[in-house]
Amino acid sequence: MAEKQEIITDYVDIPINTPLELIPKKVAQVTNGFKSHKTLSLEFRREQLRNLYYAIYDNMDLLKETLKLDLNKSSLEANLSEIAYVLKEIYYFIDNLDRLAEPESAPIEFFMRPSTANIEKHPLGTVLVISPWNYPVLLSLSPVASAIAAGNTVVLKVSELSPHTSRAIVMLLQAHLDPEIFVGITGAIPESTALLKEKFDKIMYTGNGNVGRVVARAATNNLTPVILELGGKSPAIITKNANLYLAARRLLWGKQMNAGQTCVAPDYILIEESIKDSFIKELKLAHDEFYPNDLDKDTEWYGHIINKKHYNRLKEILNTTKGKIVVGGGTDDSSKFIAPTFIEGITSTDSLMQDEIFGPLIGIITVADVDEAITFIEREHDTPLALYIFSNDVKEQREIVSKTRSGAVGINDPMVHVSLMNAPFGGVGQSGYGAYHGKDGFEAFSHRRTVFSQSAIIEPLFGMRYPPYNKSKETQYRLVAMPPKPWFARKGPVRKSLFRRLFTLRNILFLGLARLIMTFLYPRIEEHLDFDVLVQDFQNLLLYVWGLGVAFVNFWRNIDWDEYGRGDLYDRQLNGQTN
């Protein structure tokens, strides 16, 4: 284990607002750091990731303290929803960096061999990460770790709304990472505006759609690609085939986590009319079990709303809803406390349904069946960041998944999909574009660059590409490079005939290889011949297989398969040539 680093106990040296005149210099610092090529070394990247890991691990107490100050987040919730995932992801990158960075071999067409083509994962350059306030540790450090693993240098703009955690993160990272590959920027709109005037090779923004549009427009000035992790109104569909006990408990937990200030939190519920009352009964039982003494502003482990502006917005929604409170409803202006609150009897025009709630309020809308729920989502908010289905009917689950659009789908559990290391996390449509986490994070901050190497041996074959052109060269090209004759008919079902499906080139080669093995190798093994003889036989076998492959490729390209398949029969039926 690495030597324990110095514990950081405060962040007073980090200004609340980075001076505007320093921003171009800080960006230039890491831009020049990338041009030094030091980040091309995988060993260097591993060292930086290692430093990042222990910067977090050794200072968890500080991060928990700041999360408590900013969001009243409990130690358990800080670990569960932020710190543990970041540590696991950094560990994943250190453990798998060689594999992630390894070039991929691209298939080469037969007539172009022995040329080679590889796809290399090359760092993009200097990236800007603009992180939000609701999960300031997770949503700052996860993209930073992905960008460093991919070999980039990073500018991190932290949120001004979580000042304690934001300044602590900048302090920790600047103290433990190479100053030529990382700088942190604090501040609000002026600092973000100044940053967006600089040139970056990629920008990642997590937040609301309005600011996301500003970021995307600014990025177009330099043709900078952008990852937008936005939000939206993520619905939860509860069907008559759901386990209502689990649905109630899990949705209540989903609205409690971080006081509902989560981009993938369930935002509203669509429930079949026939089970609404039973669900509400289960919801009340879960509420009484989770909060036996009810929640109030003094509940130590429950989060509070980030600031007065957001609290007043949520309070206004609660005061103007036309629905009926089922559970919750408690508020406290002085501490910005709002209890998890479920409200039934609302419609699409209710105050709860106008924008993403981003708080511990959720409305319940009744529908006649699954089809009505799907239609409602398509009509009202058709591209949420997440969609949750509570149903034990697999066919029903698949119907909802296939007929809706969302960044992700959670079946019988909300929000947990975000913790998947090897699955992409991102939105679609109004909820954003681009995805990251684990391998997808590495690739999000990499350029997949094709590197093609041509052999001199193939020059005689490619002589046909050089002028002067004539019929002979055109014939040569057609024989070598034109695609095979299509197996699909001009009309009718686009489906391979049984003959084609059975007698594929792969199957034929496999049968031929098996026959050759039985003919050449098996008798030799049985007779216990010398190893040298066995090797010679294997070399002969490879030559036979190669020759067979060449013959079949030429045969495959020139035979008219349609006369053996359904396509030709269908054409002849259309032309009246057969009954």
pLDDT one-digit tens code per residue, 381-415: 999 999 999 999 999 999 999 999 999 999 999 99
pLDDT at 573 over 50: no
Closest by CA position to 134, among listed 436, 418, 422, 423: 418
The C-alpha atoms of residue 328 and residue 391 are separated, in whole angstroms, by: 25
In this structure, are residues 263 and 385 in contact, taking their beta carbons and an 8 Å threshold? yes
In sequence order, the 6+-apart residues with CB closer than 8 A to the CB of 474 are 464
What pLDDT, on the 0 to 100 scale, is given for residue 569?
A: 41
pLDDT value at 457 more than 50: yes
Residue 160 above 90 pLDDT?
A: yes
Task: Report phi then psi at 133, rounded to 5.
Answer: -95, -20
**What residues does 450 pair with on adjacent strands?**
119
Which residue has better confidence, 68 or 520?
68
Whole-angstrom Cα distance, residue 107 to residue 118? Answer: 9
Residue-wise pLDDT for 39-61, tens only, equals: 999 999 999 999 999 999 999 99
Region 465-491: what's the mean pLDDT?
83
Verify cis geometry, omega within 30 degrees of 0, for the bond prior to 114.
yes
Q: How far apart are CA 331 and CA 311, in angstroms?
A: 10
Q: For 31, list phi and psi in degrees, rounded to 5.
A: -65, -45
- Give 3-state DSSP helix, strand, coil % of the chain, rounded to 5: 50, 15, 35
pLDDT for the residue 478: 80
**Is 264 in contact with 230 (CB distance < 8 Å)?**
no
25 and 183 Cβ atoms separated by less than 8 Å: no
Which H or E element spans position 93? helix 84-101
What is the structure's pLDDT at 219? 97
Band of pLDDT at residue 455, cut at 50, 70 and 90? confident
Name the nearest CA neighbour of 359 among 302, 425, 426, 304. Answer: 304
What is the residue whose two structure tokens read 């190798």?
521
Contact 279, 362 (CB under 8 A): no
Q: Which of 3-12, 425-434, 466-475 ranks highest by mean pLDDT?
A: 425-434
Structure confidence at residue 530 (pLDDT): 57
What string of DSSP letters covers 286-327? HHHHH-TT---TT-TTS---SSHHHHHHHHHHHHH--SEEEE
Enter the tokens of residue 315. Answer: 């309070």
d(CA 316, CA 155): 37
Active site residue 21: no
Average pLDDT, the chain: 89
Catalytic residue among 263, 272, 282, 356: 263
For residue 118, name the pLDDT band (cuts at 50, 70, 90).
very high
Out of 198, 229, 272, 356, which one is annotated catalytic? 229
pLDDT at residue 482, rounded to an integer: 77
CA Rg value for the chain: 31
Pick the more confident residue, 577 or 189. 189
Residue 490 burial (10 A CB sphere; 0-12, 13-18, 19+): exposed
> Per-residue pLDDT tens for 232-243?
899 999 999 999
Q: How many CB atoms lie under 10 A from the CB of residue 360?
A: 28
Predicted structure pTM score:
0.84
What is the sign, positive or negative, of the torsion defined by CA atoms of 240, 246, 249, 253? negative
Q: Indicate the SS3 state at residue 230.
A: coil
Q: What is the mean pLDDT of residues 275-288?
A: 97
| Each residue's pLDDT tens digit, 532-555 | 666 666 666 666 666 666 566 655
Active-site annotation holds for 47: no
Amino acid at residue number 222 = N
The CA distance from 191 to 226, in Å, is 19
The gap between the terminal CA atoms of the chain, to the nearest Å, is: 79
Give the torsion sign (CA, 465, 469, 474, 479).
negative
DSSP 500: H
More confident residue, 348 or 108: 348
Query: Greater confidence, 369 or 506?
Result: 369
DSSP for 195-217? HHTS--SEEEEES-HHHHHHHHH
Shortest CA distance to 344 belongs to which of 369, 359, 361?
361
pLDDT for residue 5 is more than 50? yes
What average pLDDT does range 297-304 have in this prediction?
A: 92
